[in-house]
Amino acid sequence: MVESGIHDTLCRAIIALFIPVNIKGEFNTSFKKLENLTRPFVNYFILPLFVFMNSGILLENFAFKGICSNSILALIYGIIFGLFVGKQLGIMLFSYPFVKLNSVIYQVILHG
């Protein structure tokens, strides 16, 4: 598929469409086996590698000066702020207008 002119991501998405999930109303165990087989590889190798490569850290001029250096602390604070505070603010600021406009359908469990 590399020489076919079709992008690699598109080829993988097309191949994934041919993995059988349901056969006559029953859940196919081959899909579950494939998912269970690839889960550790994806969770412990692919996702951390993807996050690290897309983090924007330049390794050319990286000099480790200790755990308390300013660049390491800035990186730690950036990760904490981006993952924790950024996620909380993003969810609240995105959902607030919809709650105020009464365009949100609540689950029964939330209202008791």
pLDDT in tens, 23-75: 666 666 677 787 888 888 888 888 888 887 777 776 555 555 555 556 777 77
- Average pLDDT score over the chain: 74
Q: Give the start-end residues of each E strand in 1-112.
A: 22-23, 26-27
Phi-psi region of 22 (alpha: psi -120 to 50; beta: other; left: phi over 0): beta
Number of H helices, E strands in the chain: 6, 2
- Looking at residue 104, its pLDDT comes to 75
Q: Any idea which residue has 């598109």 for tokens?
A: 10
d(C-alpha 21, C-alpha 29), whole Å: 8
Q: Which residue has the higher pLDDT, 23 or 18?
A: 18
- Looking at residue 23, its pLDDT comes to 66
Q: Per-residue confidence at 11, pLDDT binned at 50, 70, 90?
A: confident
Compute and round to an integer the Cα radius of gyration of the chain: 22
Q: How many CB atoms lie within 10 A of CB 20?
A: 8
